[in-house]
Amino acid sequence: MPAGAACPCPRACPPPPTPACRRPAGASSPPPPLPGADATPEDWDRHRLGLGLPDGSRDMAAEQTVLLEAGFDELQGISWSKGCYMGQELTARTKYRGLLKRRLVPVAVAGPLPPRGTPVLAEGAEMGEMRSGRDGLGLALLRLEALDGRALHCGGAVLTPRIPGWMVLPARNAA
């Protein structure tokens, strides 16, 4: 994107503009209400899932998850100006070459909550896997092509992606 160009997405990304992004129509979901002072750990977990925030121990696989897949760039968890750090080369190469193929996405779960690792299927093809969930909410690691509106099935449940306002998805190449 040329320097100074406005971000073309409906989100109007803050400067500097991010590469063109795509957001499924109507997919943005409002943030859940903040739990009160007497909130339980389960309340905070529901809040985390509603926001689409990963829990490292439950939602990311050690030495397999790329930070960009888990939204760490949008959550300001990656420094693009700091010097050397573990994984810097892979992270930068993935971002600047547009190689991201999967994202950890919040989902609404209709049906029984699938256990971690249950494959997510669309028209019989594997599109990802369930990572964590509670009370009809969850996080699933999904291939970007799974966010095209097709029905997603996971175990005995149907998953509906709920793209939060902070999440930026890569633009699709017009073919």
- Spell out the domains of the chain, with CATH numbers in brackets: 40-168 (3.30.1360.120)
- Residue 24 or 65, more confident: 65
Q: Which pair of tokens denotes residue 153?
A: 């099935």
Residue 34 has pLDDT above 70, yes or no: yes
With the CA atoms of 105, 111, 112 and 114 taken in that order, what torsion angle do they form, in degrees rounded to the nearest 10? -30
Distance, in Å, from the CA atom of 126 to the CA atom of 142, rounded to the nearest integer, reads 9
Percent of the chain with pLDDT over 70: 79
Q: 56-88 b/e with 16+ CB inside 10 Å = b?
A: eeebbeeeebbbbbbbbbbeeebeeeeeeeeee
Averaged pLDDT, 124-129: 96
Distance, in Å, from the CA atom of 105 to the CA atom of 6, rounded to the nearest integer, reads 26
Residue 20 has pLDDT above 60, yes or no: no
- Residue 76 or 29, more confident: 76
CB 135 within 8 A of CB 83: no
Q: Which pair of tokens denotes residue 96?
A: 């600047």
Residue 141 has pLDDT above 60, yes or no: yes
Averaged pLDDT, 22-38: 63
Task: For residue 170, report the phi and psi dihedrals to the nearest 5 degrees.
Answer: -60, 150
Considering only CA atoms, give the Rg of the chain: 16
Query: What is the average pLDDT score of the chain?
Result: 82
Pairing verdict, β 119-122 and 157-161: unpaired
Distance, in Å, from the CA atom of 147 to the CA atom of 56, rounded to the nearest integer, reads 23
